[in-house]
A and B are shown apart, each in its own frame.
Chain A
Amino acid sequence: GAGVSQTPSNKVTEKGKYVELRCDPISGHTALYWYRQSLGQGPEFLIYFQGTGAADDSGLPNDRFFAVRPEGSVSTLKIQRTERGDSAVYLCASSSDRGSTGELFFGEGSRLTVL
């Protein structure tokens, strides 16, 4: 596609439920990032993939969060046993490392609300 696509755009769930957020990066981009943004804050780094492997997952807050990118394209962020504090906008971004501009291309985000 022309840009980074994230689904769903909005997700409301109850505390304790399982949630999956999907990211479809720009075609050909090998690097994919997940960030979390709370109101009034900047994007908080969660995890970064280079190809299929997680190159850096140091930002995942705990073991309820994990992400996969099995074929090096689409990625899914999975949150188990959701808590109210998980409510935020989850941003996905992709980047091409060919030529290495370092520019991230962001999607519109998935707004997660945990009741």
Chain B
Amino acid sequence: AQSVSQHNHHVILSEAASLELGCNYSYGGTVNLFWYVQYPGQHLQLLLKYFSGDPLVKGIKGFEAEFIKSKFSFNLRKPSVQWSDTAEYFCAVNAGLYSSASKIIFGSGTRLSIRP
């Protein structure tokens, strides 16, 4: 069964610092990968996704993630964070025969706190 690991539970950065959040998954087959974000008091929303093609994907608000198949990783990056990026970030994987419509497994999340 597939699983997702996020090793950073809480990351604290100052504004303008660079960000990298780790995500590793375990599944040997074709996967779709996602990063979701939950801002304080709001529901989960999609930040970016990888299905196929260019392993470097760009999402909203200047975020990007790189799929490295050999490392089973899909790390999230942002060159310069803002206070408004304070949120909880979840990596997720979707795998299955019809992977576009099968269950999506989430990691435990990384809480990002930005000091103004």
Binding site for B on A (CB under 8 A): 31, 33, 35, 40-45, 48, 50, 55-56, 58-59, 91, 93, 95, 97, 100-104, 106-109
- The 0/1 profile, CB within 8 Å of A marked 1, for residues 18-45 of chain B is 0000000000000010101000000111
Q: A43-B44, A104-B104 are in contact. List 16 more A-B contacts (CB 8 A).
A: A31-B101, A41-B108, A42-B106, A42-B107, A42-B109, A44-B106, A45-B106, A48-B102, A55-B102, A91-B44, A93-B44, A95-B101, A100-B101, A102-B94, A104-B46, A107-B43
Binding site for A on B (CB under 8 A): 4, 6, 9, 32, 34, 36, 43-46, 49, 51, 90, 94, 99-109
The residue from A56, A93, A109 contacting B102, defined by CB atoms under 8 A apart: A56
Instruction: Please determine whether A33 and B104 come into contact, CB atoms closer than 8 angstroms.
Output: yes
Complex Cα distance, B52 from A101, in Å, reads 12
Number of A-B contacts (CB under 8 A): 65
Complex Cα distance, B2 from A59, in Å, reads 13
